[in-house]
Amino acid sequence: MKAGFLHEVRDGVTPRAGALVLAVLALQLAFIASYIGAFHEPTPHRIPVAVAAPPEALDDLVGKLNRLPGDPLDARPAFSEDAARRMIDQREVYGAFIVSGTDATDRLVVASAAGAGVATALTQIITPLEDAQERAFTTEDAHPALLGDARGLSGFYLALGWVVGGYLVAIAVSTSKGSRPANPHRALVRLLSLALYSALSGVGGALIAGSLFGALDGHFAQLLWFGALLVFASGCFTMALQAAFGFVGTGLTVLLFVILGNPSAGGAYPAPLLPPFWRAIGQWLPPGLGTEAIRGIVYFSGAGVQRAAIVLGGYALFGLIGTLLVAQIAQPRQIVITPGQSLMPLERRDALAPSSRS
């Protein structure tokens, strides 16, 4: 019985199976490390903020804010309140500190739709500074989240759903038909199917977020086309990785889109509250691109959407070219057989040929 069990172990636990298990373990541990590393201690770091103050005090105030311990602010001068508000509208800054030249009451203008955590952090940073100067300040939310969009997180979850759909449909196709298309025609069929799926996904996601729940209402057309692009880019990129690397390509997709992309997307904590690594990569990965673009569509008249669309277009182009190229390289060569030609290898035919000796 013991020998039989050991035989089953040797037969069932192949080197390939062991390697796959170790790869899954590595991804699991990377998932834990990435999420805890990004979220365990959110700390404000160089939050872009506009500062409007009387001309004689503006430079000194900007310098003072930029010299705060730990560099929590990236203060930028604005020569009027209107200019400071335009910087918020164009998503150049997360808020504006308006200092009065006539009384002891200042104003902090925030945009909670861009990230409630950052708006809270700005208030916590400005409060002790004003208290030390024996000044008061009021807070105004220039871009509040919609009533159905608690803490501005609906855009993050919508983007996440679209990205997940994109790479899951690519994985589903590879599971049923093989990770590598048999030829360029098959690759094209997969890509066209993905395009149709992306369009349906864009419509469905926009309807759910808008008409069904009212979380991101009033922007159906813009969300539809952007959602379709996000799904298609994510799916195309996944197809190319799978065509080139097989199962390893699936692991690379999970690493980029889930393990690294989700915590750096700016959902629970926007970029200025994340550690440097996650703050740097989030703006280049589909979950972060999607989250910021959706917020731009819904709350900031499309500010920032163009950049996101260009980067996602790069993902889609990489996926298109990569998938078609791998399919072209990997397709089996066609052998043309002339009449009377045998398919048997030359060496085999020579071995079977009658000896020329009598």
pLDDT (tens digit per residue) in 246-267: 989 999 999 999 999 999 999 9
Distance CA 326, CA 12 (A): 32
Percent of the chain with pLDDT over 70: 90
Average pLDDT value for residue range 74-91: 96
Instruction: Provide Rg for the chain, Cα atoms.
Output: 28
User: Phi and psi dihedrals of 266, rounded to 5?
Assistant: 85, 25
pLDDT of amino acid 8: 67
pLDDT of amino acid 279: 95
Distance CA 49, CA 65 (A): 10
pLDDT of amino acid 238: 97
pLDDT of amino acid 1: 47
C-beta neighbour count of 4 within 10 angstroms:
8
C-beta neighbour count of 31 within 10 angstroms:
17
Please list, in sequence order, all residues whose beta carbon lies within 8 angstroms of the beta carbon of residue 245, skipping any fewer than 6 positions away: 252
pLDDT band at 332 (very low <50, low <70, confident <90, very high): low
pLDDT of amino acid 180: 87
Q: Is the pLDDT of residue 192 over 80?
A: yes
pLDDT of amino acid 356: 43
Sole residue written with tokens 């390289």 = 329
Q: Is the pLDDT of residue 349 over 70?
A: no
Helix ranges (H only) for the chain are: 2-12, 15-39, 55-66, 81-89, 116-132, 154-177, 184-207, 220-245, 247-253, 276-281, 286-299, 305-330, 346-352
Question: Is residue 121 exposed (0-12), middle (13-18) or buried (19+ Cβ within 10 Å)?
Answer: buried
pLDDT of amino acid 338: 57
Question: Could you tell me which residue, 344 or 304, shows the higher pLDDT?
Answer: 304
The full set of domain ranges for the chain reads 47-141, 150-330
pLDDT of amino acid 150: 81
Task: State the average pLDDT for the chain.
Answer: 90
Element holding 48 (H helix, E strand)? strand 47-52
pLDDT of amino acid 341: 54
Average pLDDT value for residue range 321-350: 66
pLDDT of amino acid 347: 47
